[in-house]
Structure 1
């Protein structure tokens, strides 16, 4: 064997010692890091930083912050890591007004709750109070004594499938048309149990039926644009569409483009 390929044991020993020393240092560094991490964890969990300091609520209009906080189950002072976001969302969605919710931790110890409510579609008149009707047809328990102006007022309805159908039909209309409606009265007739009488914010009255409500009412702005705004009366949308002024018994038919649709 050639001499230059022979490595003596004396030459290898320093390299082995150096390798073992590096390995021992790495192991010691890992253990020290783990030890300090455990100490920091203990200190953190014992400190106020691990306890909920603030809970903020956003996006709610129909329900109060107090109700959201109570239903969330997140209390100031509880451990941050004991909060289950999924469980909190499930609890919040049990509120009739809540369509969806999101819970986020703002490091180190604050939570943000974002509420998505069902749209308010109308108010139901019961006695001397008015109750919010949501887009899913649910009527909220708490009523107001003042006449609402931010959504149509429904009279003559019960909390049944007819009301749900009416709310669904309202939801099919563009927002700008919904805002033109002041009152919707359910006035059943022998020929149509779903007959409606509407009072509009512009002073006109509309005769319609739930069966074709959204289909016909979507054309209301176009119909009104062809009428004399100083002559008020009834716009009949049950079959085709025609106008009858209050002052006269005659009928002015909108033959241009407001006939059968």
Structure 2
């Protein structure tokens, strides 16, 4: 039978003491590290080091980045971990051009503001200037250059008629709205909402403000059957039809619907 190795307890005791001392030291070092990390976090949170240092703005076209950042107030000694996002987003959305704003943290001291804007559906021409009209009916600041991305409305003196047409324009498909260049208010005795449109495809259209979007829905199909070389007016009211220019001059063609129909 093999002899069992006997360890002298007097030799073992120093080893046990050393192991215990090492465990104690490791535990103490861990506590010290955690303590200083907590102190560092407290100092960081209470110091300007934790304030927002940079703000980026995405998605804005009409609203300037400067105005968005100013409305947010994020660069006014705001702590990164106390942004109060909902209140700040509400202040940004007070801008009539902005439909929604979302504030996000992107780093230890950086944030981003993502913007969604209301669509510009037309420009009102007044006093040699162009006023952007939003799909909400609100107006933005005037611009002097000729806009290209939306129809230009002219000769509208009634605010209610302007708003009604803006609402109708916001309902149009892109296929139709992109073909409209100018819209002129051309009222007649029994139709105060009569309008004349000059299209980018060369046609002239006569319609009315009431239910304008639904009346224009079939426009692409209607003009696809017409000869673009023949001048005339496309009547987009109850029953669409084309009236050649020579018929307009000679009065040979009768309208396909009652003039006052709207």
Instruction: Identify the TM-score tier after normalising by the shorter chain.
Output: 0.7 to 0.9
Q: CA deviation at 1:241?
A: 1.8
Q: Secondary structure at the match of 1:80?
A: coil
TM-score, normalised to structure 1's length? Answer: 0.79
Q: CA deviation at 1:42?
A: 2.9
Which residue of structure 2 aligns with residue 196 of structure 1? 195
Once residues 235 and 77 of structure 1 are traced to their aligned partners in structure 2, the CA distance between those partners, rounded to angstroms, is 61
Once residues 28 and 254 of structure 2 are traced to their aligned partners in structure 1, the CA distance between those partners, rounded to angstroms, is 97
Q: CA deviation at 1:146?
A: 2.1
Once residues 75 and 124 of structure 2 are traced to their aligned partners in structure 1, the CA distance between those partners, rounded to angstroms, is 35
- Unpaired runs of 5+ residues, structure 1, are 1-23, 255-261
Q: CA deviation at 1:28?
A: 7.6
Matches within 5 A, 1:60-209: 60-75=60-75, 78-140=78-140, 142-158=141-157, 160-209=159-208
After superposition, the C-alpha distances for 1:94-115 in whole angstroms (9 at most, x for unaligned) are: 0010100100011311001000
Once residues 189 and 97 of structure 2 are traced to their aligned partners in structure 1, the CA distance between those partners, rounded to angstroms, is 37
Which residue of structure 2 aligns with residue 40 of structure 1? 40
Are the aligned partners of 1:194 and 1:209 in contact in 2 as well (CA < 8 Å)? yes
Greater mean deviation of Cα atoms: 95-104 or 159-168: 159-168
Greater mean deviation of Cα atoms: 98-107 or 47-56: 47-56
Greater mean deviation of Cα atoms: 202-211 or 55-64: 202-211
After superposition, the C-alpha distances for 1:111-161 in whole angstroms (9 at most, x for unaligned) are: 010001001111011110001100111111x21222222100011224722
Which residue of structure 2 aligns with residue 237 of structure 1? 236
Once residues 89 and 46 of structure 2 are traced to their aligned partners in structure 1, the CA distance between those partners, rounded to angstroms, is 28
Aligned CA-pair RMSD = 2.7
Once residues 247 and 203 of structure 1 are traced to their aligned partners in structure 2, the CA distance between those partners, rounded to angstroms, is 17
Which residue of structure 1 aligns with residue 223 of structure 2? 224
Q: CA deviation at 1:216?
A: 1.4
Are the aligned partners of 2:195 and 2:209 in contact in 1 as well (CA < 8 Å)? yes
Are the aligned partners of 2:122 and 2:132 in contact in 1 as well (CA < 8 Å)? yes
Once residues 178 and 247 of structure 1 are traced to their aligned partners in structure 2, the CA distance between those partners, rounded to angstroms, is 28
TM-score, normalised to structure 2's length? Answer: 0.79
